[in-house]
Amino acid sequence: MSAHEVVIETRNLTKVYRDFWGRPKVQALKALDLKVYRGEIFGLLGPNGSGKTTTIKLLLGLLFPTEGESLIFGEPTTNVAKNERIGYLPEESYLYKFLNAEETLEFYGKLFKIAPQERRRRVDQLIERVGLKAARKRQLREYSKGMQRRIGLAQALINDPELILLDEPTSGLDPIGTAEIKDTIRNLRAEGKTIVLSGHLLADMQDICDRIAILHRGELREIGKVSELLTVQDITQFKIRNLPEEGKEAIREVLARFPDASLEAIDHPTTTLEELFLRIVRESEARPGLRKIGEEQEAAAQAARPVLAGVPSDNGGEAARN
- DSSP class per residue in 167-191: ESTTTT--HHHHHHHHHHHHHHHHT
Give residues with Cβ within 8 angstroms of 215, minimum separation 6: 32, 44, 45, 46, 50, 51, 52, 55, 221
- 205 vs 305, more confident: 205
What span, in angstroms and rounded, lies between the C-alpha atoms of 229 and 224? 6
Q: Which is more confident, 105 or 175?
A: 105
Who has greater pLDDT, 220 or 265? 220
Mind listing the domains of the chain with CATH numbers? 6-96+161-227 (3.40.50.300), 237-267 (no CATH)
**pTM score of the predicted model:** 0.75
Rounded to an integer, the average pLDDT of 230-245 is 71
Condensed to tens digits (0 to 9), the pLDDT of residues 105-164 reads 999 999 999 999 999 999 999 999 999 999 999 999 999 888 998 999 999 999 999 999
Contact 100, 139 (CB under 8 A): yes
Reported as a pLDDT band with limits 50, 70 and 90, residue 311 is very low
DSSP label at 113?
A: T
Please tell me the predicted confidence (pLDDT) of residue 303: 56
Residue 318 has what pLDDT? 42
CA 266/CA 242 separation, integer angstroms: 16
Check residue 313 and give its pLDDT: 45
Lowest mean pLDDT among 4-8, 192-196, 201-205, 303-307: 303-307
Average pLDDT over every residue of 18-41? 91
Run of H or E residues at 27? strand 24-37
For 266-285, the pLDDT digits (tens) are 566 677 777 777 788 888 88
- 80-89 tens-digit pLDDT: 888 899 999 9
Dihedral-angle region of residue 51 (phi above 0 means left; psi in -120 to 50 means alpha; beta otherwise): left
Q: What are phi and psi of 66, to 5 degrees?
A: -75, -40
Residue, of 29 and 321, whose pLDDT is higher = 29
Question: Backbone phi, then psi, for 221, in 5-degree steps?
Answer: -100, -25
Per-residue pLDDT, 23: 87
The set of residues, in sequence order, having a beta carbon less than 8 Å from that of 2 and lying 6+ positions away, is 38
Mean pLDDT, to the nearest integer, of 240-263? 67
**Polymer length of the chain:** 322
* Average pLDDT of every residue of the chain: 82
pLDDT score recorded for residue 293: 59
